[in-house]
Amino acid sequence: MNDHSDFDLYFKKHRLAKRMKLRYDAATDSAIVTMPPRSSEKAARKFAENNIEWLQEQRRSLPEIKKLWPGFFVPYQGQERLIIHDTDKSGRVHISENEIIVGGPLEGLPVRLENYLKKQARLVIEPMANEMAKNTGKHFKRIQIRDTKSRWGSCSSSGTLSFSWRLIMTPPEILRYVVAHEVAHLSEMNHSKAFWHVVDQLVYNAKTSRKWLKSEGSSLMFIKVEHHQ
């Protein structure tokens, strides 16, 4: 980038790209230029420099950073709850109407809470995916609960369904839509009309859920899990 920018710049050639595309990666605070195979890095760098104001605007529009740490409010099933550390309790996690209470030592608290949320996500997602797959006459190989930063879920060609544990933070109807979306890929590995027909058979709110994920979901991806406090 030019002398007035502190963005890290990365280049990625794609064989199907017909023109350059610029993306701001908030997770790494970097700029990524996807470029046609025959494009030069010099031209890609110039392209990024010409769009420096757009990159800066993307950075400024980032949502508030939150942490899995006492004193922060984070959502659970769509409702904001205050994280509280209670030294008198064991290392377990208890969720009330307005609070997430985490016991045990302060050291390792974010990891214990993250592991708890991952477990809760699986407990909700797995039976839901089984029910939906049965309704569509399909089956999947296994379910993975991961911390993906760029997508809420995915379906591999081998039949593995992967989901972000952060879905447990979304309202229940949003989580259900994402599960339906990935289960539908067991029938249609594309986003054709046939695919959306399967989705609409499983949930009623696909369109509004997609809008919610686009407008509200990104903030959940910015909730940080500090493994070392």
Q: What is the set of domains in the chain, with CATH numbers?
A: 8-60 (no CATH), 67-74+118-224 (3.30.2010.10)
Q: End-to-end distance of the chain based on CA atoms, in angstroms?
A: 33
pLDDT tens digits, 26-50: 767 789 999 999 999 999 999 999 9
Confidence bin at 173 (pLDDT 50/70/90)? very high
* CA distance linking residue 13 with residue 204, whole number of Å: 39
pTM of the model: 0.76
Nearest to 154 by CA among 185, 128, 190: 185
CA-wise closest residue to 152 among 210, 79, 225, 77: 210
62-110 pLDDT tens trace: 777 789 999 999 999 999 999 999 988 887 999 999 999 999 999 999 9
Residues 174-200, mean pLDDT to the nearest whole number: 97
Q: How far is CA 52 from CA 10, 14, 29, 46, 78, in A?
A: 14, 22, 13, 10, 35
